[in-house]
Structure 1
């Protein structure tokens, strides 16, 4: 595809996301909807981030207007309680606040970042406890947390010149790697609990893994003065993960929702997250160029899942911590905001490599 065709495809996917509703009628399990674009939760946060990244590429004022209006409307309606997932929209808010110079938005970013530092529950080893709406998840670390919360904390550190915020973001990456990265495979477990000290179902869940693949390359953009030794450690972790992904990629280009289980379905949002992280890491010299065909093959597979109206198909609904592997196999498929956003991020990288 040439750049014009890629741009047109991104426009289509982005337009669908801005107007996404629960057309399938799926009964949601989450207390706050993660399907509709109208609510403030992690799924919408990933969606906003995808839109902002595309805005950076194109400079289309209409996208920035949409983002500002989205934030103003949700702030006016009243924000939900602070937790790992509701922090996700703050990453994009920090970018919008900086671009517009809005003091009210900057103050809100400062308030939520300070909450992470001073009030957010911690596990043993000072990990950020994966507290979500309606569930404290006491003593639990989840691989989602780095993307949903820690990227914002790092951004706030840069935005407000708070080295303590940056240092805490580094610690969280290292703590999560320590407890969630599997030494045998190089992949990531979905979660760890200090209450019983185990990895739950020991699920090597695809989308959870992609939060590291996609997140670490953006984290290195944010913290551009990271200690060289820490940077090398984060990249070694990425390379180990990508080596495992190369072995497990489905012949069609996607990855299974349980990465090491060919009986589980292939899933689009995780594949898009992997493709984004791999393509960007190759472009920036973090991964060997030999990884480029794997990333391109994944991108082609994702593109094949985009319908004529811009809906990204075969995306799994939000996935809580499973007690059994069968629970992951049974997660329903449904168009989701993050299912639209991760392909947008991926397509912006495809465009850069075209």
Structure 2
């Protein structure tokens, strides 16, 4: 694909107005009790948001709550099953790949309970993915966000559903399909020089804006796949799974090391993670949360553990002061359509609570708790 070159004239007016970063927490103070209590506040605030749609932000929250339950060894919040049950009972409207995101939680609930209505919900989502005319694919096979556009978001929204559905319903070919989607998205969106991921493509051309949440979505999808592969989700596919895992592992290593290289001293990446002048200093917390979670989990998989654990703790320490007393993750950017020039990312509002901010924060704190448990003195 031919990269799109940004306009020559730079508008740094919004970057000049960026608030100074908050002083980061001391990572040594982020011990399990504080991590767990902070995560509980984040989850409480997510529940209080009045989430009602079966859509991507809600899916990220549900997955985050389940990740936190796993990390703390506590039962899943009743909110998760109540949310999924209500939608399965009333009917799930499907017209976009982002509607697959809550399906990962549906699959997990089936894994936990073996209740047939969860398996039936997964089957309905799969049928839609296979047969709906609105589900389109790019020439290389990547699911499109819109016809003519591949977005990083889809690697997570569709990928985690396929992985969790495959794991819990005994269908390893779905895990393999998720791996193929991760590679297809990387083929479009991972920059051959830097290793960072672009937000998306437009009319077949990659727009080289290295959006923070894009890097969070793709990195989290990759660790989800590698964890599933390591759990033996695809024992009958042998060489195919090993080859896919090796390729994804190499792409993820390159991406996360590049992110570590671009990480500010205070820990929180800008909305575009490469220091682009029009966005320099405009911090974005949800991308940082997702990247931190991916780094913790990649390190646990043996990918540059020393380097990535250090970057992950730096990110979490920088993120922690942005969790308000009521549990809101502040400085989370709103839902962001693909911007054709970097300046577009400098004017996305970040002054209201967002479900993906709450959800990715839960992913981050859950991964940090797991890391503390793994590295007890």
> Normalising by the residue count of structure 2, what TM-score does the alignment of the two structures yield?
0.83
Determine the structure 1 residue equivalent to 2:137: 122
Determine the structure 1 residue equivalent to 2:86: 73
Determine the structure 2 residue equivalent to 1:211: 217
Q: 1:46 aligns with which of 60, 78, 92?
A: 60
Distance in 1, matches of 2:245 and 2:70, equals 25
Determine the structure 2 residue equivalent to 1:14: 43
Tell whether 2:340 aligns with 1:323: yes
Distance in 2, matches of 1:65 and 1:273, equals 24
Point out 4+ residue stretches in structure 1 off by more than 4 angstroms. none
Q: Is the 1:43–1:337 contact (alpha carbons within 8 Å) kept by the matching residues of 2? A: yes
Deviates more, 1:4-13 or 1:154-163: 154-163
* SS of alignment partner, residue 141 of structure 1: coil
- Kindly provide the CA deviation profile for residues 244-283 of structure 1, in whole angstroms up to 9, marking residues without a partner as x: 1122112211101111215421110001111111112112
Q: 1:179 aligns with which of 188, 192, 199?
A: 188
- Tell me how far 1:83 sits from its aligned partner: 2.1
Within a 5 Å distance, the mapping from 1:142-181 to structure 2 comes to 142-181=151-190
Tell whether 2:155 aligns with 1:140: no
- Which consecutive residues of structure 1, in runs of 5 or more, have no partner in the other structure? 21-35, 131-136
- Kindly provide the CA deviation profile for residues 18-77 of structure 1, in whole angstroms up to 9, marking residues without a partner as x: 112xxxxxxxxxxxxxxx52221101100000001112233444x442111111223344
Distance in 1, matches of 2:371 and 2:110, equals 30
Distance in 1, matches of 2:172 and 2:91, equals 30
Alignment RMSD (CA, Å): 1.8
Q: Is the 1:121–1:128 contact (alpha carbons within 8 Å) kept by the matching residues of 2? A: yes
Q: Is the 1:275–1:296 contact (alpha carbons within 8 Å) kept by the matching residues of 2? A: yes
- Tell me how far 1:157 sits from its aligned partner: 2.3
Determine the structure 1 residue equivalent to 2:375: none
| TM-aligned CA distance change 1:167 to 1:349, over 3 Å | closer
> Normalising by the residue count of structure 1, what TM-score does the alignment of the two structures yield?
0.88
* SS of alignment partner, residue 182 of structure 2: helix
